[in-house]
Chain A
Amino acid sequence: MGRTIIEKILSSKSRQEAYANDIVVAGVDYVMGQDGTAPLAIRAFNDMGGAKVFDRERVAFVIDHSAPSPNEGVSALHKLMREFAGARGFRLYDIGEGVCHQILPESGVVGPGCLVIGADSHTCTYGALNAFSTGVGSTDLAGGMISGRMWFKVPETIKFVCSGILPAGVYSKDLILYLIGDVTADGATYMSTEYVGDAITAMSQEARFTISNMAIEMGAKAGLMEADEKTFAWLRRFTKREFKPVTADHDAVYARMLEYDVAKLEPQVARPHRVDNVAPVSREAGKPVQQAVIGTCTNGRLEDLRIAADILGGRKVHREVRLIVAPSSRRVFLDAMAEGIIHSLVEAGAALVTPGCGPCVGTHNGVPSDNETVISTANRNFKGRMGNSNAEIYLASPATVAASALTGKITDPREFL
């Protein structure tokens, strides 16, 4: 019987023939925690009687969610993480290095066929590198840190077949928002997802990360893609390690197959307070915004900043809008500086903040005020997400956010192309 990508990866990592609905205990290639989840994992690690981590080279902590620390409570937790990682000799990526989901791929530790667990729901991002990576909580993370293993129910898979080429001004963010709107916030709960078709093949590797990153927003356990020459070219920038691609069998069994023609897709927005509350930007155009955010693990990569700079360059951000930009990593920040992108953004009126999660999770870097509207490239617009339950958040592509920052209202980016 044919197998899906996730069935193959979980079979290989658990050394047995595994199919959907089997329970397996699998070896993990890498284990990651961030500053919102690692402190509780440290507590669980100690409760478990843990002494050392299973492999110092395959465990990391990242301080990205509140970085640099905005208050003494957070500072104490950061200190706890630094001391714990220091004492056990594994890597801690400190403030300014970036968002965990950019750092891990850039550090070369994840590629095709890998299994990664991270105590962050958007760990599914590396599915774009043909890896099974998924979010877990702090106690699972502690179990993974000690044992190098994790139990899984092998999920069924939904296959998204995306044909056609995205029109100018329409990006991978618009596509994934559209797909989430179509299948809804629990349309893939407990399931893996695979994204195939010429629309995906035509995308850059950076654009593909945006799709996999948001698989969790339809409830999915993974957002997988096949590896191709673009995947390997991207990986070669960061590692010499060889990876073996994992492909789905032609007779693999899928729970559902959904087909889309992307050729006529318009730019999309997710409206408050749900990620699946999606509409074409034209339907929301004209809604005033007071804050615009470009960054996060969804859309803070070099290509995203370049798209924004192409729209903002030589123009000025609307005087009633605050534009906040957070590059997703130090590497991205440096590359964007070398290309002149940062210069264009700052000259247009952007406020640059430390590479990391930026204002996405409401800890710092731009908490909106009551009755304000934010348009952001992030992945979640839950009520209160950015630190104020009386604010509204719209999610969109970097182009739509940049265009909206210029006009002070939600704007179709194709007006600026």
Chain B
Amino acid sequence: MQYSGRAHKFGDDVNTEYIISGKYKFKTLDMKELAKHVMEDLAPGFYEKVTAGDFIAAGTNFGCGSSREQAPLAIKYAGVGAVLAKSFARIFYRNAINTGLPVVECDTDQLDPGDELFIDLNAGVITNRTKGTTIPIKPLPEVMIRILNDGGLAAHFKKYGGFNL
């Protein structure tokens, strides 16, 4: 799995309320509509700034807070190709893999806004094409690679009729 795009930088503890506020998410299952509000309190106009395939690059504890799966889905439907962070909150981490949004644990301090990145999940390395540097990726647990490879947990269940980990 390989991805390329530009980095959008965020800080530590980006919580689920920042990703998609409860005032929007309780009313609809239309993820395209929710995507328009993604990160709006942290980075107004973020949805307009994202080009399909771009990355979110954040600090520690990304996605802390609620169990809302609308958080990874809104990011995905906004066109973001993957989320890079120094660490993730656990429910968000599971939700992202389950819904097919790649999450990449790495040292994001080495990234600046607008850096052009090439991510090779299988090789476990990010190439910063702007800076000419490489950053290692902390590998995903094997069970999560299986779920991600199947296209998320729903596709995994459809394929095997249950957990086949």
Contact = CB atoms under 8 A, between A and B. Distances in A.
A354 to B, nearest CB: 15
Interface in B25-56: 25-29, 41
Given A47-B158, A153-B141, A135 B41 contact: no
A47 B94 contact: no
Given A186-B60, A189-B89, A219-B64, A139 B13 contact: no
A387 B23 contact: yes
A189 B86 CA distance: 13
A185 B89 CA distance: 10
Given A43-B29, A137-B67, A186-B61, A389 B94 contact: no
A66 B27 CA distance: 9
Contacts of A136: 67, 91, 94
A374 B90 CA distance: 29
Contacts of B64: 185-186, 189, 219
Contact of A384 (B23, B70, B142): B23
Contacts, number: 154
Contact of B89 (A65, A138, A219): A219
A137 B61 contact: no
A185 B21 CA distance: 19
Interface stretch (A87-95, A142-150, A233-241, A289-297): A142-150
Nearest to A367: B23
Contacts of B26: 35-36, 65-66, 73-74, 77, 361, 363
B128 interface: no
Given A65-B26, A361-B22, A139 B95 contact: yes
Interface in A350-372: 361-363, 367
Contact of B143 (A65, A73, A151): A151
B67 A37 contact: yes
A35 B15 CA distance: 20
Interface stretch (B76-84, B112-120, B131-139, B149-157): B149-157
Contacts of A77: 26-29
Given A74-B26, A147-B162, A361-B22, A140 B94 contact: yes
A138 B69 contact: yes
Contacts of B162: 143, 146-147, 149
A219 B13 CA distance: 11
B17 A139 contact: no
Interface in A31-90: 35-37, 39-40, 43-44, 47-50, 65-66, 71, 73-74, 77
Contacts of A138: 69, 95
A168 interface: no
A133 to B, nearest CB: 12
A47 B22 contact: no
Interface residues on B, range: 35 or more
Q: Which of A77, A138, A362 neighbours the largest number of chain B CB atoms within 10 Å of its CB?
A: A138
Contacts of A48: 153-154, 157-158
A361 B90 CA distance: 21
Given A151-B165, A380-B65, A139 B22 contact: no
Contacts of A189: 61, 64, 87, 89-90
B21 A362 contact: yes
Interface residues on A, range: 35 or more
A232 interface: no
Q: Which of B25, B29, B89, B91 neighbours the largest number of chain A CB atoms within 10 Å of its CB?
A: B91
Contacts of A50: 157
B91 A121 contact: yes
A180 B162 CA distance: 37
B165 A73 contact: no
Contact of A219 (B28, B90, B165): B90
A219 B64 CA distance: 7
A14 to B, nearest CB: 11
Nearest to B70: A40
A318 interface: no
B143 A23 contact: yes
B108 interface: no
A36 B91 contact: no
B92 to A, nearest CB: 8
B66 interface: yes
A278 B118 CA distance: 40
A71 B143 contact: no
A13 interface: no
B61 A47 contact: no
Contacts of B165: 23, 25, 151
A35 B25 CA distance: 11
A244 to B, nearest CB: 26
18 contacts: A37-B67, A47-B155, A48-B154, A49-B157, A77-B29, A120-B66, A137-B98, A140-B94, A143-B157, A185-B13, A186-B61, A189-B87, A219-B90, A274-B13, A363-B22, A363-B26, A387-B23, A389-B41
Question: Top 9 A-B pairs ranked by shortest CB distance?
Answer: A73-B27, A137-B95, A48-B157, A186-B61, A137-B69, A382-B17, A139-B98, A47-B154, A138-B69
Given A47-B158, A66-B26, A363-B23, 11 more contacts: A23-B141, A25-B163, A25-B165, A36-B26, A36-B68, A44-B153, A74-B26, A77-B28, A140-B95, A140-B98, A362-B23
